[in-house]
Structure 1
Amino acid sequence: DTEYVGHWCVAFQLVFTANFAIQNLQSSLHEEESMGASALGCMYATSIFSSIFAPTIIGILGAKGCLVVAWICHILYTLAQFYPAWGTLVPASILLGLLTGPTWTAQGLYVSACAFSFSKRSQHSPYTILSRFNGLFFALYETKNILGNLVSSFVLRNGVGNKSEGIIFKFCGADDCPDAENVTDIEEPDTWVVDTMLVVLVTPLARSEWVGRVSLRETATSWFHTLVGTEMIYLVPFMVFQSMEQGILLTEYTRSYISCPIGIHKVGFVMASYGAVTAFFVLVFSRLARLTGRYPLFALAASVNAALLAVLLNWIPERSEEELIFIFPAVWGVSEGIWQTQTNSMLAVIFYDRKEPAFANYQTWRAVGYTLIFSYHSFLCVSTKLAIALGFLVVGMILYTAVEIRIRWKERIRIPKSGQKDPNAKRKSTSQSQEGLSESVTDVDEVSGSKKKKKNKPASYDT
């Protein structure tokens, strides 16, 4: 199980090292008519639709098939950066967006299958194992920000036309507005095509029991049924914010708080520090979740993001404040280490019997958040964008808290009244729920074969 997750981690890390180093520079490099941000907006707008139909696509191609096609699209997207124009960046972005939803839905399925399989042989709860496996995956995945961004910064620093002196910015930070347009004239950095052959090491994940027992038509409508028929609809602002805060970091912070005051050649160095801190805290919080549960960690992440957004709203960075410019993304990495591991683990447990449409919903609403950020990139001031994200954070946390209360209330009423006099009744009920949840998912070896187990319907589980 851990070997499969390791292969999975390395494959994603290699592919996204080039991809995210490029994305971090889009809003600064391709400033003409906001071509860079517009291309990213097209990518994530397309991924909204691909996420909705992700269960259907995975049912047809399989999880691994989706990934192989996605890696090819990533190569084409990287190649398009050699000849940046509307005719190359936008089509490549749309093509990549078509596979983004299925790619990350498959990622959630793979890690969940390995975690549930491992939990049957472990003394820990399924949620604890899910948290650890997601921590392992995202810790290595986040190292993409280190290598890729360091390379891009060294390339930009050594380029004649890439010095900060060649950039003319009139306004920085929260005062950066479209009507006070900044002027840039920066050469594009060299990039490379990533070797994706490691993906062949990943064992194909056969169709899950959920896909096996529903028709193709039902998989197409499962996204909507999961959204309106479960607690998922209350988690929408919560999920949208997670991508909005990432979008702000990738576009607004890199442009208005890094490129503007200290130069585009420093973007990679700053984002590399963010990646290192995120990778570290992903491991820390994936272990800490066993002791605290998910809600205190989510509350901490929300507090960190709220504080950062509030400070950025009132901060105009200057060249002399380079240390602060590095510190803010590092602190940002603390909250990101929580969002990534705990959200995936939470969805796998709450929606244990419909993980495909649950992860598809998650990727859809994350794509909506990215699309919002990139769509109004050229129309709103940075201060307005920060205020919108802060509003989504407040509403999202309120509704998420309501979901947690509702889940705990459901778990209480499941305890049989006849067992209330037994002081061990609650303990037995919890043990039976955990046992049923562990048995509800076959391990990776069984999933990839023809053997299937009868699915039980356990209660939602939280550490």
Structure 2
Amino acid sequence: MATDEETPLIVENPPTPTLNHKKDVHILCWAFLLIFLAYGATQNLESTINTEGDLGNISLGILYLSFTFFSVLASLVVKKLGSKIALILGTTGYWLFIAANLKPTWYTMVPASLYLGFAASIIWVAQGTYLTSTAHSHANDFNLHEGTIIGKFNGEFWGMFASHQLVGNLITLALLRDEKGGSTSGTTLLFIVFLCSMTLGTILMCFLSRRNGKEEGVQDSRVTFSSSVVSLLKAMSNLLLDIRILLIIPLIAYSGLQQAFVWAEYTKHIVKPTLGERGVGGAMAVYGVFDAICSLASGRLTFGLLSITIIVSAGALIQIVVLLWLLLGYSVAGGVLGTVYPLLIGALWGIGDGVLNTQLSALLGILFKHDLEGAFAQLKLWQSASIAVVFFISSSISLQTMVIILLVALCISVAGFLFLMLQIEKAFSYRAS
């Protein structure tokens, strides 16, 4: 049974904490909302507004390929800089990418995408490390159940983060106008508003508390960069020898595939034919609402590995239903159904995404708390690699083929995840006996 966050496991006067952990979580949530309402809405539009030479999809493919490469080194950078400085550094890539969209050419978008791949790898490893270490510290300071706090903090963060799709896409819906001939006006004003939002988010990051001790990863200055890289690669290789991470990797990769499906395929093949380019913002807003609600709810319901197993299984079942619908019975409809079907698909898909975001972060935080940077580097490495694949192949395969790929990947990943949970349960039962 879940332990309430405010009820201590041991009834005594808790030590006075040195940091306000909840305040830091709130700051982190608001900063990411301000940054990603801009980036998320821009990413949703890339495949529909930058169509010449497929510039939008190729730029995003380059971005996530760069993200994949730099994820290998991201944990080293986070350890060297500390999670707070790494978070601030990571925001610069998103700012540059939005600025490049003011003048979208190969000479602006490709360099911006390459740099954003580096910045994104830094900010996401730092986010996972910062949030999980904050949860550990809060649980220790107040003698609370660690798994419950990790679940609640992740639920709050991912719920707030998912709402960026609602806010950002409502701004898109308000500022963009569909013109005759299929063109879109208002993009310059939209990207200026987004740059202002990102600037506010970066400023807010500066008010985060520094995490001390090993949480900031203070390193001996005498250690050379090359020896640090060798040590990092050895640590990542050792982590890949852990059967737990090997069984989680397929689910991590699928979480990237299903995100990219929304950005590259859902908006282009399901939303645009019936709702138009301007309708992308509204559909993604619906997706974001359900993503946010599900993230908050699943975070509140997370108290350990058993709850994670149940929640992930439920989210996977919902996405399987959507994929089977798209594969066997979906067709572009007219009238009211033409509006309702894309929004319903977006809502159901948002529920699945909310589950995967919160539960994967909570799972890694529980199983790999002694190597948070390495675990979250693996998360972003495999996620970004699968996202890059989707953007590079999306223009050369049909929607039906993509749905089949997703369905197979989901079944394999859930099977591996359930096998892992079963083995862990057996291990606990054996120790208890």
TM-score by length of 1: 0.81
Q: Tell me the amino acid that sits aligned with residue 9 of structure 1.
A: C
Unpaired segments ≥5 residues, structure 1 = 168-184, 421-463
| Aligned equivalents of 2:261, 2:142: Cα separation in 1 | 40
CA contact (8 A) 1:102 1:360 kept: no
Correspondence for 2:240: 227
Alignment of 1:95 with 2:115, yes or no, is yes
CA distances 1:310-348 after superposition (whole Å, capped 9, x unpaired): 112231223421111111111212212211111101101
Q: Tell me the amino acid that sits aligned with residue 302 of structure 1.
A: A
| Aligned equivalents of 2:27, 2:34: Cα separation in 1 | 11
CA contact (8 A) 1:317 1:325 kept: no
1:44 offset after TM fit, Å? Answer: 0.5
1:208 offset after TM fit, Å? Answer: 1.9
Alignment of 1:316 with 2:331, yes or no, is yes
CA contact (8 A) 2:82 2:218 kept: no
Q: 2:381 aligns with which of 364, 367, 370?
A: 364
Correspondence for 1:301: 315
1:113 offset after TM fit, Å? Answer: 1.2
1:15 offset after TM fit, Å? Answer: 0.7
Q: Tell me the amino acid that sits aligned with residue 303 of structure 1.
A: L
Alignment of 1:384 with 2:404, yes or no, is no
SS in 1 for 2:396: coil
- Within a 5 Å distance, the mapping from 1:110-125 to structure 2 comes to 110-122=130-142, 124-125=144-145
Q: 2:187 aligns with which of 186, 189, 204?
A: 189
Gap change, CA 1:122 and 1:156, over 3 Å in 2:
same
Q: 2:286 aligns with which of 260, 273, 288?
A: 273
Alignment of 1:85 with 2:102, yes or no, is no
Write 1 or 2 for the structure with the bigger share of helix: 2
1:261 offset after TM fit, Å? Answer: 2.0
1:411 offset after TM fit, Å? Answer: 2.4
| Aligned equivalents of 2:176, 2:317: Cα separation in 1 | 35
Correspondence for 1:202: 208
| Aligned equivalents of 1:19, 1:68: Cα separation in 2 | 16
1:108 offset after TM fit, Å? Answer: 0.8
1:273 offset after TM fit, Å? Answer: 1.3
1:414 offset after TM fit, Å? Answer: 3.4
1:385 offset after TM fit, Å? Answer: 0.9
| Aligned equivalents of 1:387, 1:101: Cα separation in 2 | 29
Alignment of 1:247 with 2:266, yes or no, is no
Residue correspondences, number:
394
| Aligned equivalents of 1:77, 1:240: Cα separation in 2 | 24
Percent identity between matched residues is: 25
| Aligned equivalents of 2:162, 2:376: Cα separation in 1 | 20
| Aligned equivalents of 1:252, 1:27: Cα separation in 2 | 9
CA distances 1:50-71 after superposition (whole Å, capped 9, x unpaired): 1111121112222122222221
Q: Tell me the amino acid that sits aligned with residue 313 of structure 2.
A: A
Gap change, CA 1:34 and 1:388, over 3 Å in 2:
same
CA contact (8 A) 2:89 2:123 kept: no
| Aligned equivalents of 1:160, 1:223: Cα separation in 2 | 51
Correspondence for 1:395: 412
CA contact (8 A) 2:80 2:217 kept: no
Correspondence for 2:302: 289
CA distances 1:37-56 after superposition (whole Å, capped 9, x unpaired): 11000011011111111121
CA distances 1:213-238 after superposition (whole Å, capped 9, x unpaired): 99723234322221223411122211
| Aligned equivalents of 2:242, 2:291: Cα separation in 1 | 34
| Aligned equivalents of 2:76, 2:295: Cα separation in 1 | 31
Q: Tell me the amino acid that sits aligned with residue 266 of structure 1.
A: G
SS in 2 for 1:120: helix
Alignment of 1:414 with 2:427, yes or no, is no
Alignment of 1:237 with 2:253, yes or no, is no
Alignment of 1:138 with 2:158, yes or no, is yes
CA contact (8 A) 1:55 1:220 kept: no
CA contact (8 A) 2:248 2:416 kept: yes
1:254 offset after TM fit, Å? Answer: 0.5
Alignment of 1:56 with 2:76, yes or no, is yes
| Aligned equivalents of 1:20, 1:207: Cα separation in 2 | 34
Q: Tell me the amino acid that sits aligned with residue 83 of structure 1.
A: K
| Aligned equivalents of 2:187, 2:216: Cα separation in 1 | 45
| Aligned equivalents of 1:328, 1:54: Cα separation in 2 | 34
CA contact (8 A) 1:235 1:396 kept: yes
Greater radius of gyration (CA): 1
